[in-house]
Structure 1
Amino acid sequence: MNEYRILIVDDEEDLCEILKFNLENEDYLVDTANSAEEALKMDLTVYDLLLLDVMMGEISGFKMANMLKKDKKTAGIPIIFITAKDTENDTVTGFNLGADDYISKPFSLREVIARVKAVLRRTSVEKQDKAPEKLVYQTLVLDIPQKKVSIDDQEVSLTKKEFEILFLLLENKGRVFSREDILNRIWSDEVYVLDRTIDVNITRLRKKIGEYGKCIVTRLGYGYCFESR
């Protein structure tokens, strides 16, 4: 299954649902918003790609993109504009704002899917090339090459599985992982592991990281995620 998460922002609800349905058929995780105002209330940092309409309400797609590119937390999120504004000036404006692609309406769904795949393929390679050596949340630091965790510059002793769980949740802050997701990623080489094993490791991890243990939240019926406090 694809691990990429996409947000579609368009004031045409029917179009949002059509795009969502077809992208989910490609195994992407897809959310929708029917205005820039609605989208800006969401945690956009969890998305790997935005499909952004240009002509919307008070905040246009161009204006929203400009806002995102000025914010360090969202500046790196790839954007594909999907719009009926297809003049040369509009296209140039889109690319000058940092868009990764520009698709004019009407379009074929096959074209949209192909361009989404191309942008995600390219940007995922760029992310790997720029992979950070540390993950930091307040005073909690994961040193990735050395596989060490510290809080307030004091090293915390974690097992390999505990480190990998913390790395997974912190790297994807705000995203919920089911027990099955965690099993497949962290215990992939082991034949038989009980769900209870994950719960035990999460409980130990929470205790070891002290106040930050509260950031590892249980979503009943869904799984676990790391949330900012």
Structure 2
Amino acid sequence: MEEEKKYKILVVDDEDDLCEILKFNLETEGYQVTTANSAEDALKLDIASFDLLLLDVMMGGMSGFAMAKQLKANPSTASVPIIFLTARDTENDTVTGFNLGADDYISKPFSLREVLVRVRAVLRRTSEHQGSEPAVLRYQGLEMNLDKKTVSIDGADVPFTKTEFELLHLLLEEKGRVFSRQELIDKVWPKDVLVLDRTVDVNITRLRKKIGRFAKCIVTRLGFGYYFDA
């Protein structure tokens, strides 16, 4: 892992022993770790200051899904990456997690090595698009600030999940190029997570809704994939 920055991770799980195990192992890897035993306690913290959330789905009070929904609706926390930790591993639950903007989804019981690999992958993807890129991408009234990770439509800020932001960034940066679903999966999602074609479609549908009058610019080329038609 890169040592230039000490990443801050928040672990939210109602199993205190699990929180302590994750905290110990993540801190051993060089991360700065805070734990909370409920979504309610976590929401009292400055969520926007964290680089990643490890969030349990099934908790006694507010669920992880409910907490994630609240965070993604707030522009100040919408871009904070989330990895769900859960004993529920059905396809519907996985799609629900990604539909809420999750960056990854790990089923319990899991190995600590698996968690560390996925944490590194998400954090690497979070920071990989910095440096030589232009700070802003624009198309008419649609504007993406690549440094602040924000999107505005006709001057109004719109909250985006990280996955939605990455999809729009890719399509807008290479306008007119058709991306297959597999290309989008390879470029936007971590290499070590299984993503269904349907998950891509769900995210594209959600992206279209968020960009309002520009929705028609994201075109489906049947049998091939998606592209941004300028």
**TM-score > 0.5, shorter chain as reference:** yes
2:50 and 2:73 mapped to 1: Cα distance?
Answer: 17
Cα deviation, residue 126, structure 1? 3.8
TM-score, L = length of structure 1: 0.56
Name the amino acid aligned to 2:36: A
- Give the Å deviation of 1:58: 2.3
Q: How does 1:71-86 map to 2 (within 5 A)?
A: 71-86=74-89
Structure 2 residue matching 1:42: 3-state secondary structure: coil
Report what 2:48 is aligned to: 45
**2:85 matches 1:69:** no
Residue 3 of structure 1 deviates from its aligned partner by 1.4
Root mean square deviation, CA, Å: 1.5
- 2:147 partner amino acid: A
Unaligned runs of 5+ residues in structure 1 are 133-229
* Partner secondary structure for residue 22 of structure 1: helix
Ranked by relative contact order (alpha carbons within 8 Å, sequence separation 6 or more), the top structure is 2
Deviation at 1:125, TM superposition (A): 1.8
CA deviations on 1:163-218 (whole Å, 9 max, x unpaired) are xxxxxxxxxxxxxxxxxxxxxxxxxxxxxxxxxxxxxxxxxxxxxxxxxxxxxxxx
Q: Whole-Å Cα distance in 2 between the matches of residues 20 and 41 of structure 1?
A: 19
- For residues 109-152 of structure 1, the C-alpha deviation after alignment (integer angstroms, 9 at most, x for no partner) is 000000000000001124655114xxxxxxxxxxxxxxxxxxxx
Matches within 5 A, 1:9-28: 9-28=12-31
Q: Where does residue 101 of structure 1 map in the other structure?
A: 104
Structure whose CA Rg is larger? 1
TM-score normalised by length of structure 2: 0.56
Unaligned runs of 5+ in 2: 134-145, 149-230
1:114 equivalent to 2:117? Answer yes
| Cα separation, 2, equivalents of 1:13 and 1:124 | 30
Aligned match of 2:9: 6
| Structure 1 residue matching 2:85: 3-state secondary structure | strand
Q: Work out the CA distance in 1 between the residues paired with 2:70 and 2:96.
A: 14
Name the count of aligned residue pairs.
133
